[in-house]
């Protein structure tokens, strides 16, 4: 490709609405342009990178036995109602109406469509296993698009769906995808690692997210360097001991605490009740019903865990206006010992199990209760792990301290089970003629997000530093004089033609620009290897190879092509 023929609008100045480095570089290097919030046009260089990532994904998916399909992005709502996700995914579903007033949904994922397909086409265990994938545009009604391609209203995703005859077979499919994902991100030059994750609206038995460590990531991951445990903070657990019981303990005793409405205040003089001997009482509205949640005073509720454990679809903290008529006191004086209305579920964090000698609100403003025993004095509906892990807690597996870091989610694999196949009747006949639901898995990669994650992870002060495998062009030839027939241009054309003939993706910067402009642009865009051809070095019979971010390597002009080929071979991802 000749620079003058393509379209690479680089920016010297940083666009005002870009916040993180990868977003700025996407814009400055001329890869994308914003149409409006959350919607981007991919320019020629951006498309090239996108296709590179897609190609890697296709190769690995095909290699793992998946077959490519293409499903409609516009989908009828009735299958979404059948799966239940019309309600559970309501907040992210884009809906449109046609001229007849009929409603459609724009697909954020395609479990419903693929399961409908399987329902019609797969009848026998002889047809299984099958894994279908597609690479397509997806839609999400993001309430706040941000960070460029990271969180957009429209994006490109690879989604795959496996169908198996049994749990064991489904696990094998899951494992194949898990391994394929590991290879895909490695080939993209990304340091991504899998973590245990919450299944969220997709549902299913369990899942792993593939995370790229980055301070700008929107996820937090707890991990153990000693044993390799890693989990999204929404899911992570630790090996902290339960709250110690203290002898028998006396009877529950009410005491006055005028004006004390925080854990912190109760821990101070004159009360002096340490936070870890307090019970924090939270009231949530879960699927329109009030519930009480108990966690230890020094712990934080993990809403995702709460929703996952109780199966709630929507949950929010109750307002004081909702709490007072329910429990008879304002937040800050709440408890679950007395005056808990019948029918209100009480969920307690496992760390409180067996604890006594605890202090909690009396459901009477200005009063607390001490000597509370969870077993004796509180009617707990169910015990769950509901707390958020913090850095430094011992790993549940090996006891070493956990660390927490931010990360970008680029992929997510789910073991779905039969949630969708039962609801949408994807059934097959087994060897003994019995009808069984297919056991499913689903596997997503945010393709556009992956492109940005590569940039976020691989840049320096001068611009992007592309890994060879996903660079828009592997090599940029930079003649410093472009006059037709000049020695520099003739050699540039020759090297350009020979590299092209060898299958190297190469761009020839044939613009009549000053050297500084060309060098700055090449660095900003981040071509892995630059070949500079100028009169000075050519006088010595040399051209200059310069890896992006590396040192200048003068080489004899006649060796340029072979040296470039050797460099690319040596610097390609596995």
**Residue 239 or 481 with smaller CB distance to RNA:** 481
Cα distance between residue 452 and residue 190, in whole Å:
11
- Furthest-apart CA atoms within the chain: distance in Å: 99
- Let me know: does 357 contact 246? Beta carbons within 8 Å: yes
**Residue 335 or 463 with smaller CB distance to RNA:** 463
DSSP letter for 218, please.
Answer: S
**Residue 78 or 218 with smaller CB distance to RNA:** 218
167-187 vs 44-63: helix crossing angle, rounded to 10: 140
Locate 574 and state its tokens.
């596995």
Cα distance between residue 513 and residue 176, in whole Å:
50
CB of 114 to RNA, least distance (A): 14
**Residue 253 or 535 with smaller CB distance to RNA:** 535
CB of 14 to RNA, least distance (A): 6
Residue 64 sits at φ, ψ, to 5 deg, of -90, 5
Edge-to-edge order in the sheet of strand 553-556: 506-508, 475-479, 529-533, 542-547, 553-556
Locate 61 and state its tokens.
């998916």
**Residue 95 or 397 with smaller CB distance to RNA:** 95
**Residue 253 or 287 with smaller CB distance to RNA:** 287
CB of 408 to RNA, least distance (A): 11
CB neighbours of 489 closer than 8 A, spacing ≥ 6?
A: 479, 481, 482, 483, 510
3-state DSSP assignment of residue 225: coil
Residue 361 sits at φ, ψ, to 5 deg, of -65, 155
Cα distance between residue 373 and residue 337, in whole Å:
9
CB of 148 to RNA, least distance (A): 8
CB of 371 to RNA, least distance (A): 34
CB of 551 to RNA, least distance (A): 10
**Residue 437 or 444 with smaller CB distance to RNA:** 444
Site residues for RNA per CB under 7 A: 10-17, 19, 28, 34, 36-38, 89, 91-92, 108-109, 138, 140, 143-147, 151, 155, 157, 199-202, 218, 303-304, 316, 412, 414, 444, 446, 462, 480-481, 514-517, 519-524, 532-538, 544, 546, 552
Burial-class residue 574 by CB neighbours within 10 Å (0-12, 13-18, 19+): exposed
CB of 89 to RNA, least distance (A): 6
**Residue 199 or 381 with smaller CB distance to RNA:** 199
CB neighbours of 78 closer than 8 A, spacing ≥ 6?
A: none
Cα distance between residue 476 and residue 509, in whole Å:
7
**Residue 385 or 462 with smaller CB distance to RNA:** 462
CB of 109 to RNA, least distance (A): 5
CB of 28 to RNA, least distance (A): 7
Stretch (H or E) spanning 106? strand 103-106
**Residue 145 or 194 with smaller CB distance to RNA:** 145
**Residue 373 or 478 with smaller CB distance to RNA:** 478
Q: Around Cβ 391, how many Cβ atoms within 10 Å?
A: 12
Distances in Å between the alpha carbon of 9 and those of 186, 269, 451?
Answer: 30, 65, 19
CB of 197 to RNA, least distance (A): 9
Locate 263 and state its tokens.
């854990």
Locate 288 and state its tokens.
């329109």
CB of 493 to RNA, least distance (A): 17
CB neighbours of 423 closer than 8 A, spacing ≥ 6?
A: 82, 83, 84, 115
């Amino acid at each position: 490709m000749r620079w003058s023929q393509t379209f690479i609008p680089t920016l010297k100045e940083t666009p005002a609405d870009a916040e993180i480095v990868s977003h700025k570089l996407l814009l400055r290097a001329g890869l994308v342009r914003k149409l409006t919030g959350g919607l981007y046009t991919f320019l020629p260089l951006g498309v090239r990178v996108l296709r590179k990532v897609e190609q890697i994904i296709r190769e690995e998916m095909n290699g793992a036995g998946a077959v490519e399909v293409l499903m409609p992005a516009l989908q009828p709502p009735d299958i979404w109602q059948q799966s239940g996700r019309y309600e559970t995914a309501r907040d992210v579903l884009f809906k449109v109406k046609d001229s007849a007033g009929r409603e459609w949904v724009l697909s954020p994922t395609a479990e419903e469509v693929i399961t409908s397909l399987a329902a019609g086409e797969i009848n026998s265990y002889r047809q299984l296993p099958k894994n279908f994938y597609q690479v397509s545009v997806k839609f999400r009604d993001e309430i706040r698009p941000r960070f460029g391609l990271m969180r957009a209203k429209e994006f490109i995703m690879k989604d795959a769906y496996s169908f198996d005859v049994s749990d064991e077979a489904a696990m094998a499919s899951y494992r194949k995808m898990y391994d394929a994902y590991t290879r895909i991100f490695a080939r993209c030059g990304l340091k991504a690692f899998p973590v245990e994750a919450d299944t969220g609206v997709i549902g299913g038995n369990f899942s792993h997210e593939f995370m790229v460590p980055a301070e700008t990531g929107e996820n937090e991951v707890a991990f153990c360097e000693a044993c390799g445990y890693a989990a999204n903070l929404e899911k992570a657990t630790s090996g902290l001991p339960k709250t110690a019981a203290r002898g028998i303990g006396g009877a529950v005793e009410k005491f006055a605490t005028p004006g004390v409405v925080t854990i912190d205040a109760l821990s101070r003089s004159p009360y002096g009740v340490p936070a870890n001997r307090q019970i924090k009482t939270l009231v949530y509205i879960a699927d329109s019903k009030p519930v009480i949640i108990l966690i230890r005073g020094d712990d934080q509720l993990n809403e995702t865990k709460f929703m996952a454990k109780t199966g709630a679809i929507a949950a929010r903290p109750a307002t004081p206006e909702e709490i007072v008529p329910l429990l008879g006191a304002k937040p800050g004086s709440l408890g679950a010992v007395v005056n808990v209305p019948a029918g209100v579920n009480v969920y307690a964090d496992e760390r409180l199990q067996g604890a006594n000698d605890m202090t909690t609100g009396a459901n009477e403003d200005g009063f607390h209760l001490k000597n509370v025993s969870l077993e004796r004095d509180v009617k707990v509906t169910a015990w769950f792990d509901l707390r958020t892990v913090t850095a430094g807690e011992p790993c549940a597996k090996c006891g070493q301290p956990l660390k927490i870091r931010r990360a970008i989610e680029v992929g997510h694999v789910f073991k779905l089970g039969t949630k969708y196949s039962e609801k949408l009747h994807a059934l097959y006949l087994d060897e003994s003629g019995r009808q069984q639901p297919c056991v499913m898995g689903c596997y997503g990669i945010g393709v556009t997000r992956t492109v940005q994650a590569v940039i976020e992870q691989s840049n320096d002060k001068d611009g992007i530093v592309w890994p060879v495998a996903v660079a828009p062009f592997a090599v940029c030839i930079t003649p410093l004089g472009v006059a037709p027939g000049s020695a520099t241009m003739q050699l540039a054309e020759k090297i350009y033609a020979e590299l092209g003939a060898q299958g190297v993706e190469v761009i020839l910067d044939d613009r009549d620009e000053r050297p500084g402009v060309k060098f700055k642009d090449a660095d900003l865009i981040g071509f892995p290897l630059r070949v500079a051809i100028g009169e000075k070095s050519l006088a010595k019979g040399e051209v200059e190879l310069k890896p992006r971010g590396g040192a200048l390597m003068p080489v004899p002009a006649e060796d340029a092509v072979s040296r470039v080929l050797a460099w690319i071979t040596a610097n390609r991802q596995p």
